[in-house]
Structure 1
């Protein structure tokens, strides 16, 4: 029976442009290609967990508009069961993303502040059958409610602790079973430059486990106060868009399947590395077979 993951947070539509280089001054740039596909941390995490073999729901809000309807349909194409509210009068989130030849990106994102934050409609009774919940920082009221309930029911929870424009992480990190930071977010949260010092500081705020993604260098976490490192996989990256979201989705699925922190980190490292070898954000999510095949190769960073 497939492990069951419930993901909670934001779902948007991405328009991704392939360009030669990120411009350094105002100009007109002609793209080599353009792709439209769903995005957002929670939504891409859900698509990842589903594509890797999980049974997955996404709890999210979108606008009552054509973009919102396309977001929901595209989630279904990934095998995700959408528990999504179309907010009357609201506009769905969109991002325009330029991806350069070296894999670096420039993102313009719009999130409608008029999308209400009401959580009363969430099907909280469905949490009881979840093996893990994954939440992002983009719908704080929902994430906080779900983390509280997961904690009460003893359900493992993973927080995608990425950068935001506010300090909501200070409310959510203490509630998470696994608070997994990006390095910039960890530095902002703790004021520490070193990942190790940052994790030590973050652990004081979190009753659960803390870890940080390091891109090509892999995954670092604390185990009973001891720093542990799971190396990354050397790949030829062409597009890093969504790699962190893929990591969190794969990590949550691995936890749902009963893997320990090291096993979950290695599985997520492999999925994120493969995603970086393919253009198109969520379009680069690997299959379970591809991920397992990479796991059989030697690790190339120490």
Structure 2
């Protein structure tokens, strides 16, 4: 039987309203969706759900609060299940809402959201002993102050830290010195970086030993120590690519505790590719 691990996922939670349609709407156009679903979203949150689905215990360190809309998020995370460590439980501000349109024939998605711009927490709101018995930490960069403090504590306690480099966020450079694994998208562009080679060099100069850059359906490039290589991504017919990177990160957190960097990337890519065969960010788990 595979060992169960405990993961802490630090960053963004959103309420995702996901529509499947023939195309994204043009100006002044109204569309009727083919399908529709609602789920908790955000990079750290989707990664936590995946980590939990793979047989582990996941905690999301997020700003949620008490607005009525948060009940939809709570019920979704309870179902999968993910524990919630709320950085601001008394706030009645509405959670960030993402509206997503998935194009039916290609699986490509268009997203609009305000992310965590209005829900930034201070590090003094971190629950005490949040890292007790934690095996791995993922930080998505949407809560910079909290992520910075958690990364420092994790590093001091020899807990591996994964950073989700979906896109560059100001302040992320404060977290990078404490990172063991940087898993980035092709849209991750640190200052003065305009190519995979310059991104690898930038992150390597921060002392990060294991770095990967994903390229959608194309092979994943990686640098592990001084070794470079690529990992193939399974060829599929994509129904929905929404959350594929988040799912890959959550699966990576599961596999890296058991195997090598390249092998963990390969296994995580298989999970993410399978998720893309299904509409929304949850149905791939419901049909297994």
User: TM-score normalized by structure 2?
Assistant: 0.91
CA contact (8 A) 2:10 2:44 kept: yes
Q: Which runs of 5+ in 2 are unaligned?
A: none
Please name the residue that 2:102 is paired with. 99
Q: Does 1:227 align with 2:231?
A: no
- 1:245-266 C-alpha deviation (Å, 9 max, x unpaired): 00000011112x3321012101
Alignment map for 1:127-166 (pairs within 5 Å): 127-164=131-168, 166=169
Q: Which runs of 5+ in 1 are unaligned?
A: 291-302
Please name the residue that 1:260 is paired with. 260
Task: Tell me by how many angstroms 1:132 deviates.
Answer: 0.6
The DSSP-based 3-state class of the residue aligned with 1:268 is helix
User: TM-score normalized by structure 1?
Assistant: 0.87
The CA distance in 2 between the partners of 1:97 and 1:60, in whole Å, is: 21
The CA distance in 2 between the partners of 1:285 and 1:204, in whole Å, is: 38
Please name the residue that 1:300 is paired with. none
Task: Tell me by how many angstroms 1:239 deviates.
Answer: 0.4
CA contact (8 A) 1:39 1:282 kept: no
- Superposition misfits of 4+ residues, deviation over 6 angstroms: none
Name the Cα RMSD after superposition.
2.0
The CA distance in 2 between the partners of 1:32 and 1:277, in whole Å, is: 16
Please name the residue that 1:293 is paired with. none
Task: Tell me by how many angstroms 1:105 deviates.
Answer: 1.1
Task: Tell me by how many angstroms 1:113 deviates.
Answer: 4.3
Please name the residue that 1:42 is paired with. 44
CA contact (8 A) 1:68 1:86 kept: no
Please name the residue that 2:177 is paired with. 174
The CA distance in 1 between the partners of 2:285 and 2:200, in whole Å, is: 28
Q: Does 1:108 align with 2:112?
A: yes
Task: Identify the range of structure 1 (109-118 vs 63-72) with the bigger mean alpha-carbon deviation.
Answer: 109-118
CA contact (8 A) 2:39 2:72 kept: no
The CA distance in 2 between the partners of 1:33 and 1:286, in whole Å, is: 16
- 1:132-170 C-alpha deviation (Å, 9 max, x unpaired): 111111111111111111111111111101115x42322
CA contact (8 A) 1:8 1:59 kept: yes
The CA distance in 2 between the partners of 1:223 and 1:190, in whole Å, is: 23
